[in-house]
Structure 1
Amino acid sequence: MENEIKEMFGLILNKLNHLESRQDEIYLVVKAIEHNNQVHRAEIDNLKHSVANVEGTLSTIGEVITKRKAI
């Protein structure tokens, strides 16, 4: 009976170790996804800035063309 309890206890400890290992893996995956999300957000912000810059340049060119047509 005591050997059976020790064996079951060993199996339970083994399963707990496996669960801890899986939890660590999941944590690392979540952290990697979070980092990827932050990088993606920064890239989107950079693109928004670039588009705003191009829009401003095109708007200025359009104003110059309109003024030249008026002359």
Structure 2
Amino acid sequence: MSGHPSPLIENYLREAGFWHMANIGRGCKLDLKLISAFVERWRPETHTIHLPCEECTITLEDVQL
């Protein structure tokens, strides 16, 4: 993954007002093991991540941060 949206869709993203979303996380290093652990514990029926200690809900504010 290059981190840059394809030039073929850049104008569509800009017109839709989502260009900023396509650039979130640029320059950040991803921890693939951590992401995999969260994916394994995700429960789509309740929109929560079940952890050994409790459960956690990711809010839109969390995503923004």
Structure number with greater Rg is 1
For the criterion TM > 0.5, the same-fold answer is no
TM-score interval for Structure 1 and Structure 2 normalised by the shorter chain: under 0.3
Of Structure 1 and Structure 2, the greater strand share is in 2
Of Structure 1 and Structure 2, the greater helix share is in 1
TM (normalized to structure 1)? 0.20
